[in-house]
Amino acid sequence: MAHIARKRFGQHFLTDKAVIDAIIDAIAPGDDQSMVEIGPGLGAMTLPLLQRLPASSQPLTVVELDRDLAARLRKRGDLTVIESDVLKVDFGALAQERGRKIRVVGNLPYNISSPILFHLLQYVEQVVDQTFMLQKEVVDRMAAGPGGKEYGRLSVMLQWRYDVEALFDVPPEAFDPPPRVDSAIVRMTPWATPAVLDEALFSEMVASAFSQRRKLLRHSLGRWLEARGYGGDFDLHRRAEEVPVAEFVALAQSL
């Protein structure tokens, strides 16, 4: 029986073989790797990944919330299937079980893509890289540089910890059912030597900076800094979207 896409799970199944091949080429599965796929769905990426993964690699692990799809995947016998909400999965434990860092891939549900990215951020030290299909608008925000409307909290929070690279776009007709938006593939590679800072403080600071993005920073971040007794010379006479990631990082370190 054909599986009917469930709107509550944000299901859009990738069907375009040329796009699938391009994604697998971008992932480039290699020897002795431990790979985890989020949202395998009907296996559009899963099966080509299995074909490309060398015998020396560990079994492919998939995380699927839909119990019917999870049951279907479990019947294959060549996958480790985790039937769960991805936001409840401990990716650090997965890496520890396998004794190595993991590579994470997947066609992420667009309705909860940002929460998934922030969930994975806490396990970044256990990750080799992440290659995802996301809504193009989200990928544009993730990879944006300062000075444009796409640059925001998501850009800063991810770019301080990852090299974010937008790879290529994917049109709606590559899916069944077609989404109402364009999609894109993004690769996220953790920086080998990330800046050392208080992550909770950094997150709070960046959220404050972008809370009133149309106003100068003195109206938002300025008040936040004043409440913490900051006496430095950070330029608050500009908007948050004008501040490079490195300057936000330096400010957090100075605090």
Which H or E run contains 117? helix 113-121
Q: What span, in angstroms and rounded, lies between the C-alpha atoms of 111 and 225? A: 33
Q: What span, in angstroms and rounded, lies between the C-alpha atoms of 79 and 33? A: 14
Q: Which of 230, 238, 12 is nearest to 134 (CA)?
A: 12
The CB density around residue 1, as the number of other CB atoms within 10 Å, is 4
Q: In the Cβ-directed half-sphere of 171, how many Cα atoms lie within 13 Å?
A: 4
Single-letter amino acid, residue 40 = P
- What are the E-state strand segments in the chain? 13-14, 34-38, 60-64, 79-83, 102-107, 127-135, 162-170, 175-176, 183-190
Q: Would you list which residues are annotated within the binding site?
A: 12, 14, 39, 64, 85, 107
Q: Which of 33, 21, 28 is nearest to 127 (CA)?
A: 33
Q: Would you list which residues are annotated within the binding site for S-adenosyl-L-methionine?
A: 12, 14, 39, 64, 85, 107
Q: What span, in angstroms and rounded, lies between the C-alpha atoms of 248 and 232? A: 13
Q: What span, in angstroms and rounded, lies between the C-alpha atoms of 155 and 6? A: 30
